[in-house]
Amino acid sequence: MTAIINAKNLTLNEVSEFLKFQQLFNNETYPSLLSLEPLAEFEQLELVQIRNDFREYLSFERVSEGLVQALTTFPLMRLAGFYRSPLKMSLEENIANIAIEDEDITITGRFDILAINKQKQIAADIAFWILVIESKNSLIAPRAGLPQLLTYAYKSLEYQESVWGLTTSGEFYQFVNIRRGNPPTYQLMPFLTLMEPESSVVLLQVLKAICKL
């Protein structure tokens, strides 16, 4: 009998065991992987507003996963250009089931946010994945979303060489560069935070650079 496992219940060790992911440890950073451009003055002002809005909520309560998206993720993605054609965002959609035959296991799940390029068709009805995002509430470390993120990105590697992922708690952000291979690999980028001006600028610069891929 096949066991059904939801991706949200997987540990990083189980993801490595079932999907054969291996972590890369090297010195590549954002500038070497992406072309980061200076922000315009209005973008920096918008960043300050997003930060101030989120800080107001953080000071009173735990910010839920849904509010993290509403207060930070969606405004940042809009500012970075993800709302504009030919990009399209999908929310809370089921992933294609992943069958682990040797283990008689099927992995299911539902990603939080997916950005695709509608004009960059890889095959019939298959568009290029730009960015997969997994959100957590403000008290959970973004790293806790890594097993889900890798699982959701796994199927896209059947059709493209790499995909970017992002885990966030609203306050902290970690981008992940996920690549096809034998075995597939992932590289964790340095943590960024919305709450510090310099780090938040890099955060938006990275989002804008990924948006242009």
Query: Exposed/middle/buried for 89, CB within 10 Å: 0-12, 13-18, 19+?
Result: middle
For range 42-59, the mean pLDDT: 95
Distance CA(183)–CA(124), nearest Å, equals 26
Give me the number of domains the chain comprises: 1
8 Å CB contact between 114 and 93? yes
How high is the pLDDT of residue 29?
72
Q: Each residue of 51-71: pLDDT tens digit?
A: 999 999 998 878 999 999 999
For range 149-163, the mean pLDDT: 90
Query: Exposed/middle/buried for 129, CB within 10 Å: 0-12, 13-18, 19+?
Result: buried
Tokens of 118: 């509608």
How high is the pLDDT of residue 124?
63
pLDDT band at 40 (very low <50, low <70, confident <90, very high): very high
Q: Which domain holds residue 161?
A: 3-211
Residue 23 has pLDDT above 70, yes or no: yes
Return the higher-pLDDT residue of 50 and 34: 50
Low-confidence winner among 8-17, 117-126, 164-173, 197-206 (lowest mean pLDDT): 117-126
Residue 96 has pLDDT above 80, yes or no: no
Amino acid residing at 130: I
Residue 207 has pLDDT above 90, yes or no: yes
Q: pTM of the entire structure? A: 0.92
Q: What is the SS3 string spanning 68-95?
A: HHHHHHHHHHHHHCCCCCCEEEEEEEEC
Phi, psi values for residue 176, rounded to 5°: -130, 125
Residue 1 has pLDDT above 70, yes or no: no
8 Å CB contact between 107 and 7? yes
Residue 3 has pLDDT above 90, yes or no: no
Distance CA(205)–CA(199), nearest Å, equals 10
Q: How far is residue 180 from each of residues 42, 141, 212, measured CA to CA in Å?
A: 37, 26, 20
Q: Each residue of 101-136: pLDDT tens digit?
A: 667 788 887 888 999 998 887 766 778 899 999 999
What CATH code is carried by the domain that includes residue 162? 3.90.1570.30
